[in-house]
Amino acid sequence: MSDDSLRVASYNLRYAGLDDGQHAWDRRRSRVAAVLDRLDPDVLATQECWHGQLDDLRARTDYEWVAFLDDNGSHTPVGFDPARFERVDADAFGIAPDGERGVLGWDAAVPRQATRVTLRDRQTKTTFAVVSVHLDHRGATARREGARLVRDRLPDGPAVVAGDCNCTPDSQPYATLTGALSDSRRVAQTVDGPRATYVGFGGHAPDEDGPADPRRLDYVFTRGFETHREVVHAGDADGDDDPARRPSDHRPVAVDLVSVGSDDLVQRDE
């Protein structure tokens, strides 16, 4: 692989406060950090990251973080290696009509937002956009319209959309995003790890009636990049996929990319 390769990862951390006992965040946070250390992404898109969880990530990683925190809704911070990347621009928009933040969009269960960051790669001299997104888990219209909104708010040029889309590859939101971007798993030269990214906590979480139906819900979509490898990380840093010790109810997805797009990234009018 080229020395100019770039690793981007997406990881739904599961909100702190939902669980106690073995799945409480204060018992999972070190395992999450261990997984990130093993994957070692250059850019990390997270979902379900509350205020205190972001503080824990700051203490346990060397990333520079971009976060726009609301009182309600899903938090989607982006971390990146400050030695390699320069932050050019950053903002957030709601997964709602007109991109309004802090409101319920369509039939969504909770307000959602996406974090959008423009990075300049000092190594390759390319500029690209990263969007961390978490589409709604209940509202079919919110997922469908949210995917269109994310697609339409991408700048022209190289781009990465990473996140928990709460949809499978046979869905309309997936088709909307792959109409403008490539699904890294489908174009990767090498794929490591299982297909399913949502695995639950084995029926032991408050919102689980039983063992999860494993599904592929988490993605890294790209434009202007060649995908050499996708890795779906199963288990913690010790390779143990025991539900009692899972760092999260989602598995992280990491992809190794090489830029093949134009250096010119042009913001679209909104």
User: CATH number, domain at 32?
Assistant: 3.60.10.10
Which range of residues forms the domain containing residue 99?
6-259
Q: Is 8 helix (H, G, I), strand (E, B) or coil?
A: strand
Q: How many domains are there within the chain?
A: 1
In a domain, 269, yes or no: no
pTM above 0.85, yes or no: yes
Residue 4 has what pLDDT?
A: 87
Question: Residue 267: what pLDDT?
Answer: 39
Using alpha carbons only, give the angle 143, 145, 147 rounded to the nearest 5 degrees: 65
Number of neighbouring beta carbons within 10 Å of residue 83: 10
Q: What ranges make up the beta strands (E) of 19-135? A: 43-47, 64-66, 78-80, 85-94, 113-121, 127-134
* 172 is a domain residue: yes
Is position 158 within any domain? yes
208 falls within a domain: yes
Give domain status of residue 268, yes or no.
Answer: no
Write out residues in the chain with pLDDT < 70, as ranges.
Answer: 1-2, 71-74, 235-240, 261-270
- Answer yes or no: is 61 within a domain: yes
Assess contact for 107 and 141: CB atoms under 8 A. yes
Sign of CA pseudo-dihedral 152, 267, 228, 87: negative
Residue 76 domain flag: yes
Pairwise CA distance, residues 173 & 82, whole Å: 32
Q: What pLDDT score was predicted for residue 270?
A: 37
Token reading at 202: 């084995």
Give the per-residue pLDDT at 181.
98
Assigned domain for 43 exists: yes
- What is d(CA 186, CA 190) in angstroms, rounded to the nearest whole number? 10
